[in-house]
């Protein structure tokens, strides 16, 4: 109240001074000789004006401004205060780091613990231990419309059953090809949904890749056999596959048909690496595979080999 009263008084004084000022200037303009005006008196008036305005505008302005602020603001910190607070933060971080280091040291002192998830006792199968001269031919990465019909024709010609490890996303768009494969007496198996590198996938991602594919091929295949793309897997991959009831299938003969144009090279790889119970890896989509296949089959037959699907091989 007292402050408001003072303010009103100052406004009153200021208004009067302004009025005086107006009157003075009127007198000045009416007289040609302005120097005749009592300058001493004018100086006093100006001093009074400055005193009142300074006090009014600069002393009370802060109060007025504060009331207009939309949100309360933190009072400004001086540089020293800010520096001190910064150091506090750094100290805290250092403290946390030290605590962590301490924990690490404690960890080192403890006797080594067993990993939480035990290593899967089952391992991927690349060959069945048998003396029977039986082999499984496997074709990855399809179903591939470009080569499948010819491939099926060649296999039929030699009365050979094989296994097709298909990619789920491709299979989904080509279920009629899956039908052709099983109609010809072959097996369809799981080669993931997007041909991802499983060594870079977590548990759930791995599970999705396998299960999504199995949901599609399950109508065309009885067994649960999974081959990780690129042969890349981790213990997590195996945990997923085994807990979902799959066998993990690798190979014992890698024809590397995807990197050659020479059918003889494929034949020679098969000749030098095939053993009873072996699993031979080919791929769909390569002309060189189609070219090599008749000679490969003829040689295997001449060696006394019989052809089984992966499911039949696991039953040996
Ligand atoms: Zn593949």
Q: Residue 256 contacts by C-beta under 8 Å, 6 or more apart in sequence?
A: 266, 269
Q: How far does the centroid of ligand 1 lie from the alpha carbon of residue 281, in Å? A: 10
pLDDT at 16: 54
Residue 34 backbone zone (phi > 0: left; psi -120 to 50: alpha; other: beta):
alpha
What does the pLDDT look like over 127-172, one tens digit per residue? 999 999 999 999 999 999 999 999 999 999 999 999 999 999 999 9
Classify the C-alpha dihedral 85-89-92-94 as positive or negative.
negative
Return the pLDDT at 101: 40
Q: Does 283 participate in catalysis according to the annotation? A: yes
Residue 230, phi then psi, degrees to nearest 5:
65, 5
Return the CATH architecture of domain 134-314: Alpha-Beta Barrel (3.20)
Q: What are the pLDDT digits (tens) for 18-59?
A: 445 544 454 444 434 444 344 455 545 445 444 444 444 333
Active site residue 140: yes
Query: What's the whole-model pTM score?
Result: 0.64
191 CA to centre of ligand 1 in angstroms: 7
Single out the catalytic residue among 186, 191, 283, 286.
283
Domain with CATH 3.20.20.370 in the chain: 134-314
Strands (E), the chain: 134-142, 162-166, 187-190, 225-226, 247-248, 253-254, 278-283, 306-307
């Amino acid at each position: 109240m007292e402050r408001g009263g003072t303010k009103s008084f100052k406004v009153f004084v200021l208004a009067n001074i302004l009025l005086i000022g107006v009157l003075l200037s009127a007198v000045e303009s009416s007289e040609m000789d302005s120097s005749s005006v009592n300058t001493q008196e004018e100086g006093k008036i100006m001093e009074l004006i400055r005193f009142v305005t300074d006090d009014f505008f600069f002393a009370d302005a802060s109060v007025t401004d504060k009331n207009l602020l939309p949100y309360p603001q933190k009072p400004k910190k001086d540089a020293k205060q800010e520096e001190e607070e910064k150091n506090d933060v750094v100290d805290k971080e250092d403290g946390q780091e030290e605590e962590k280091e301490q924990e690490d040291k404690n960890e080192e002192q403890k006797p080594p613990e067993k990993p939480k998830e035990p290593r899967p006792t089952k391992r991927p199968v690349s060959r069945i231990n048998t003396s029977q001269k039986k082999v499984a031919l496997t074709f990855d990465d399809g179903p591939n419309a470009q080569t499948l019909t010819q491939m099926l024709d060649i296999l039929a010609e030699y009365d050979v059953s094989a296994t097709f490890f298909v990619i789920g996303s491709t299979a989904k768009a080509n279920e009629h090809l899956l039908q052709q494969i099983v109609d010809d007496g072959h097996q369809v198996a799981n080669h993931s949904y997007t041909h991802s590198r499983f060594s870079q996938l977590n548990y759930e991602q791995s599970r999705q890749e396998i299960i999504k594919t199995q949901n599609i091929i399950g109508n065309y295949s009885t067994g649960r056999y999974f081959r990780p793309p690129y042969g890349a897997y981790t213990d997590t991959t195996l945990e997923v596959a085994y807990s979902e009831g799959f066998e993990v299938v690798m190979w014992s003969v890698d024809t590397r048909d995807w990197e050659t144009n020479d059918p003889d090279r494929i034949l020679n790889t098969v000749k030098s690496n095939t053993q009873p119970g072996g699993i031979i890896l080919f791929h769909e989509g390569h002309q060189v595979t189609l070219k090599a296949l008749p000679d490969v089959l003829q040689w295997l037959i001449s060696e006394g080999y019989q052809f089984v699907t992966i499911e039949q091989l696991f039953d040996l």
